[in-house]
Structures are given as structure tokens and as C-alpha cells.
Amino acid sequence: MIALVMAGGKGTRMKLNDEKLLLKYKKPVILHVIDSLKNSNCFSKILSVTSCNSPKTKKLLEENNVETFDTPGIGYVEDLNLALQTFCDEFLVISGDLPLLDKEIIQKITTYYNPQKSWTSILVTNKFLTALGLESNYSVNFNNQICHYTGISLVNAKKITSLENLVENYIVLDDKRVAFNLNSKQDYDLLGTT
């Protein structure tokens, strides 16, 4: 399984002068994600998806011996689709802005991988997210409750011919290590209190 770290976004919702993944939480946020993946010992390769939107993030990753894959930076879905088509493997797809990740939660998530399923997204419940003081614009109704995407998916790209009409499966994992991603300045401020 390959860990595919999405690190090519503009981070426009944060309204920052610098790249979002370089924000510090003891060390740059992107390095928390990379270290959690490395320390889990679950992956044959860790690959970071970068773009022209994230040149400083790419430089930091390369300085830390992380392999990068450049995309045009058109958008998250387009960049992800290009990476999945290029490598056509089994993946843990993960957002680069999850500062509370650790090796244990990565190990737990990988146990949910089912090669028969093309796409499984990890969700948190709205109740759990709001209890943490967080908000999300990306929700889905699952098992009669509002849930939110965490930016983590288990993907068997060998079973995908197109991202259109893709059957998505869901797993709810109410854990702050996967719930806490940085989408706004408020999220980053809240991070300092954890």
C-alpha cells in the first residue's frame, strides 16, 4: 500500500501569506503527517502530491527525503485523479493538514482496507466535530446522521475506471486525530489549545 499525501492545495480558506502546510505545531504540519505515516510501518512508499501552488512545501518535503509527485494544481480531485491513474495501486489517501495524526491511528485506519472496495472514506459525526469546536463544509448523510469527511480514504485504484459514478463506502471514526484538520484560522487557533 502507498500513502498518498495531498499537499498541493492553495489553502485559500486560511487567508495566509504563506503555505498552509508549513504552519507550525511544534514542527510544520505536513511533517506531522509524514512522520505518522513513516512511523506506522504500513506503507511500501510515501508519496506527496504537490503542485505549483505549494513550492515551499515541496522543497521542505524533498529536504526531508519525501518523494513528491507534481500535478498541475487545478484542484484536489483533478490532482488526486492524476496520481491514482499514474500509480494504479492500493492507497491510503490523506490530507497534509492533519496535525494530530500518530502511528497508532494510521495503523488502525489501514486495518479497514478491503481490496474488494474501490473507495472507502473515513468520516466523523457532526456531533463529534462540533463538540471539538470544528466545522466542515464537506458532509454526507450516512446511517441517518450527518457526517463529515476527514480527508482520509482507502482506495484500490486497480478497481477504478473513472471517478464518476464511483461507489463510495464509509467508516465512521470519531477520533480527534482524524477530525482535526486545518481549514480555517479558527481551526489553527484551536489547535494551540489541544
Query: In Å, how far are 38, 108, 146 from 93, measured between CA atoms?
Result: 14, 14, 22
**Euclidean distance between CA atoms 80 and 9, whole angstroms:** 11
Contact of 91 with 3, CB cutoff 8 Å: yes
Contact of 169 with 120, CB cutoff 8 Å: yes
SS (H, E, C) the chain: CEEEEECCCCCHHHCCCCCHHHCEECEEHHHHHHHHHHHHCCCCEEEEEEECCCHHHHHHHHHCCCEEEEECCCCHHHHHHHHHHHHCCEEEEEECCCCCCCHHHHHHHHCCCCCCCCEEEEEEEHHHHHHCCCCCCCEEEECCEEEEEEEEEEEEHHHCCCCCCCCEEEEECCCHHHHCCCCCHHHHHHHCCC
pLDDT at 194: 59
Average pLDDT over residues 38-62: 93
pLDDT at 88: 82
Tens digit of each residue's pLDDT (9 = 90 or more) over 93-131 = 999 989 899 999 999 999 999 999 999 999 999 999 999
Contact of 172 with 13, CB cutoff 8 Å: no
Helix axes 29-40 and 103-110, enclosed angle (nearest 10): 60
Q: Residue 129 belongs to what domain range?
A: 2-191
Tens digit of each residue's pLDDT (9 = 90 or more) over 32-42 = 999 999 999 99
Residues facing 146 on adjacent strands = 141
Residue 14 has pLDDT above 60, yes or no: no
Q: What is the CATH number of the domain that holds 36?
A: 3.90.550.10
Residue whose C-alpha cell is 511544534: 26
- pLDDT band for position 18 (cuts 50, 70, 90): low
pLDDT at 34: 96
Residues facing 188 on adjacent strands = none
Give the best-scoring range by mean pLDDT among 6-15, 67-76, 179-188: 67-76
Tens digit of each residue's pLDDT (9 = 90 or more) over 156-193 = 998 877 666 788 999 999 999 999 886 656 665 666 66
How many domains is the chain built from? 1
Lowest average pLDDT, out of 22-31, 66-75, 124-133, 164-173, goes to 22-31
Q: What is the mean pLDDT of the chain?
A: 87
